[in-house]
Amino acid sequence: MHLFETSRLSVSIGNTRVCDALDFSIDAGDRCCILGRNGTGKTTLLHTLAGLRPALAGDIKLRDQSLQQLPRKTIAQHIGLLFQDHTDAFPASVIETVLSGRHPWMGPLQWESEQDVAMARTALRAVGLDDMEQRIVTTLSGGERRRLGIACLLTQNPQLQLLDEPTNHLDIHHQISMLELLQQQAQHDHKALLFVMHDINLASRYCNRFLLLFGDGETAQGSAAEVLTHTHLERLYRHPLQTVAGPHGTLWLPG
Amino acid sequence: MRALTLLALLLLLTLASLLISLVSGSVSIGWNGLLAVLSGGGDALATQVIMELRGPRAVAAFTTGALLSVAGALMQVLLRNPLADPYVLGVSGGAATGALLALLLGLGGLGLHSAAFCGALLSMLLVFGLSHGSGNWTTSRLLLTGVVIAAGWGAVIGFLLALSPDQGLRGMLFWLMGDLSYASSPASGLLVLVTGLLLAIATGRSLNIFTQGEQTAAALGISVVPLRRFIYLLASLLTATAVTLAGSIGFVGLIVPHMLRLAGVRDHRLLLPAAALLGGSLLIIADTLARTLLAPRQLPVGILTALVGVPLFLLLLHHGRNVHGEAR
């Protein structure tokens, strides 16, 4: 039994075929990455996998149970999603936002406990926002906002974490520290990660499995050695690529 | 605790405004007279004025203000729009149309109230039905449907005003601007308020998350569609009850939630009961002014809510935190 798997999953948005009859599975400790050009439906696929939009065909299973049959609250206890953007009509404070991650674990009339607050503070410390508890989220910078999203995901504490471009807006130091943090979690706490990323080099440094979306419904999946090849990546990005040897393996540069 | 302090302060404000409204009016009853009436003594006239006129009217004012403030806060969450008020989706237009028709037909009392409530209910179901006709029920679709239907009611109201004989116009105008002198029995309104408020507070944590967007809410385990329907129906019912009680009193439902947000109250489990108390006492004060300022003439209370509310709100906006929470 896999932690999470799709069988013959077909997803489309508008006229774009995101994937056709995709069989893909994720297990504890896995760090997977979805790669693809702009507009090939990476975010759509991620939202479908989180059960937020219906698939065209096929099945998505969380521990052998069909996602459609699970209540939303149960799904939220096991699958978390870091979104690309956010709504700010009535902005909350940093600590309030992080605490919202505890929502799926609380009863309808329950108030946040000391333990929930302690978890939220630990998460804020982990992403380096512990001195900003009372700040209103709209006063944060783009990078701080991104780390806040990651802290919220840590507080939600699902086993499968879907992250839509987690390194967006982050400086080099924070790109590495956030990815290290997530990777350590995956290893020590048996979490599974599924990223959407545009940086092939960061992806190949932190991920062990890759899913390539070519934009016409076709996909390729496998380890770095299997799918991060000139043929695949140049077809994927429609751009020539060059490689150089780097300290963590092959580095890809635009040609 | 900060939350309890705020609620205690607002409760004091409510009590104070209630007492002031009981001693104010053309028949002069001092604090001693009020005390005597409340303890069961007091002379017959004072007892009658307080128990049958000022008392019920103050309770009706409180109920209406509280209903509108809670409905306003809920509409703002539903549409995720700070400009939303209880009337934005046309509930008050429907109620006003029903009420004006009743006035045109010479109905009063129960007939007027039932016509207003039926109009509000009709408008609410019309918007609900039309906005999710195609199966998906997006916020902008709901907002557009509501705004267009509200505009439609506006035209009907204008038509009815043009048709009505001159001597009926004054009563209609009072009703359109909101007037508590028709509000006779606030008991049913109070019951709706308490039930609705408890239900709303119980979903408070979900409402907090709903303001972060529907996708985020769904990802955090909230069933968005049922919650959205619940907020819509609850807010509409609260508005319909308020409008039936006292006509379309403006402004309270828009600014009371914002006054609290400006004061840093963001958690809806606290914001909703606080809005009920603040909105209720604000309307008691406005109504007391409406019936005493130019006594024996009575002003439509809607004018006073704006006259009291506008400077108060601007003051808060200027000195408080701005919408993004930066202290000035």
Which CATH number goes with the domain that contains B216?
1.10.3470.10
Q: Which of B221, B269, B323 sits opposite A104 (nearest CB)?
A: B221
Mean pLDDT to the nearest integer, A144-152 = 96
Phi, psi dihedral angles at A27 (to 5 degrees): -120, 165
Q: Is the pLDDT of residue B320 over 70?
A: no
Q: Is A134 at the interface with chain B, CB within 8 A? A: no
What pLDDT digit, counting tens, does each position of A73-94 carry?
Answer: 999 999 999 999 888 889 999 9
* Whole-number pLDDT of residue B137: 65
Residue A127, classed as helix, strand or coil, is coil
Q: Burial level of B246, CB count in 10 A (0-12/13-18/19+)?
A: buried
Buried b (16+ CB within 10 A) or exposed e, B274-299: bbbbbbbbbbbbbbbbbbeeeeeebb
Contact status, residue B282 vs residue B305, Cβ threshold 8 Å: yes
* Whole-number pLDDT of residue B324: 45
- Residue A5 β-bridge partners: A25, A61
Provide the H-helix boundaries in B31-138. Answer: 31-38, 44-48, 55-79, 91-104, 109-131
Measured distance CA(A99)–CA(B190) in Å, rounded: 34
With CB atoms and an 8 Å threshold, state whether B220 touches A138.
Answer: no
| Segment among A119-128, B4-13, B248-257 with least mean pLDDT | B248-257
* Whole-number pLDDT of residue B133: 57
Contacts with B, A 42-101, CB within 8 Å: 47, 50, 52, 71-77, 80-81, 83, 86-87, 89-93, 96-97, 100-101
Q: Is the pLDDT of residue B134 over 60?
A: no
With CB atoms and an 8 Å threshold, state whether B324 touches A97.
Answer: no
Q: What is the reported pTM?
A: 0.92
Mutate: best of A86, A90, A156, partner B, most B CBs <10 A: A90
Distance from CA of B20 to the nearest CA of A (A): 35
Greatest alpha-carbon span in chain A: 57
- What share of chain B in percent tops pLDDT 70? 95
Buried b (16+ CB within 10 A) or exposed e, A155-170: bbbbbbbbbbbbbbeb
Taking all residues of chain B, what is their mean pLDDT, rounded to a whole number? 87
Which structure tokens are listed for B232?
Answer: 């819509």
Per the structure, the count of domains in chain B is 1
What pLDDT digit, counting tens, does each position of A183-195 carry?
Answer: 998 899 999 999 9
CA dihedral (B260, B263, B266, B269) in degrees, to 10, reads -50
What pLDDT digit, counting tens, does each position of B262-273 carry?
Answer: 888 999 999 999
Query: Vertex B242, ends B77 and B57: CA angle to 5°?
Result: 135
Contact status, residue A63 vs residue A20, Cβ threshold 8 Å: no
Q: What DSSP string runs through A179-191?
A: HHHHHHHHHHS--
Q: Which of A81, A91, A101 sits opposite B325 (nearest CB)?
A: A91
What pLDDT digit, counting tens, does each position of B22-62 carry?
Answer: 988 877 788 888 888 888 777 888 888 888 888 899 999 99
Measured distance CA(B297)–CA(B178) in Å, rounded: 15
Provide the H-helix boundaries in A127-223. Answer: 142-156, 172-188, 200-206
Mean pLDDT to the nearest integer, A134-161 = 95
Q: Is B136 at the interface with chain A, CB within 8 A? A: no
CATH architecture designation of domain A4-87+158-254:
3-Layer(aba) Sandwich (3.40)
Which structure tokens are listed for A102?
Answer: 């505890």
Among B261, B258, B312, B243, smallest CA distance to B282 is for B312
Q: Which residues of A touch B219 (CB under 8 A)?
A: 50, 52, 76, 80-81, 83
| Segment among A68-77, A78-87, A119-128, B127-136 with least mean pLDDT | B127-136
Q: Is the pLDDT of residue A20 over 50?
A: yes
With CB atoms and an 8 Å threshold, state whether B205 touches A103.
Answer: yes
Q: Burial level of A87, CB count in 10 A (0-12/13-18/19+)?
A: middle
Contact status, residue A173 vs residue A94, Cβ threshold 8 Å: no
Q: Is the pLDDT of residue A102 over 50?
A: yes
User: Residue B23's domain spans which residues?
Assistant: 2-86+177-319
Distance from CA of B203 to the nearest CA of A (A): 7
Q: Which of B76, B212, B261 sits opposite A100 (nearest CB)?
A: B212
Residue B144: Cβ within 10 Å count:
13
* Whole-number pLDDT of residue A5: 96
* Whole-number pLDDT of residue A65: 95
Strands A65-66 and A79-82: unpaired
Is there a domain that residue B96 lies in? Answer: no
Cis check for the bond before B296: say yes or no (omega within 30 of 0): yes
Q: Is the pLDDT of residue B326 over 60?
A: no
Quote the ipTM score: 0.93
What pLDDT digit, counting tens, does each position of B145-191 carry?
Answer: 999 999 999 999 999 999 888 888 888 888 888 888 776 678 889 99
Q: Which residues of B touch A71 (CB under 8 A)?
A: 223
Is there a domain that residue B221 lies in? Answer: yes
How far is CA B242 from its chain centroid? Answer: 6
Strands A31-36 and A79-82: unpaired
Q: Is the pLDDT of residue B327 over 50?
A: no
Per domain, the residue ranges of chain A are: 4-87+158-254
Residue B27: Cβ within 10 Å count:
12
With CB atoms and an 8 Å threshold, state whether B77 touches A139.
Answer: no
Q: Which residues of B touch A156 (CB under 8 A)?
A: 220
What pLDDT digit, counting tens, does each position of B185-237 carry?
Answer: 788 899 999 999 999 999 999 999 999 999 999 999 999 989 999 999 999 99
* Whole-number pLDDT of residue A179: 97
Q: Is the pLDDT of residue B311 over 90?
A: no
With CB atoms and an 8 Å threshold, state whether B211 touches A50.
Answer: no
- Beta-carbon contacts below 8 Å between A and B: 84
Contacts of B194 (CB under 8 A, 6+ apart): none
Q: Which residues of A touch B76 (CB under 8 A)?
A: 89-90
Which structure tokens are listed for A192?
Answer: 């599974």
* Whole-number pLDDT of residue B48: 83
* Whole-number pLDDT of residue B325: 46
Q: How confident is the model at residue A61 (pLDDT cuts 50, 70, 90)?
A: very high
Measured distance CA(B297)–CA(B157) in Å, rounded: 26
Q: Which residues of A touch B320 (CB under 8 A)?
A: none
Is there a domain that residue B194 lies in? Answer: yes
What pLDDT digit, counting tens, does each position of A194-247 carry?
Answer: 999 999 999 999 999 999 999 999 999 999 999 999 999 999 999 999 999 988
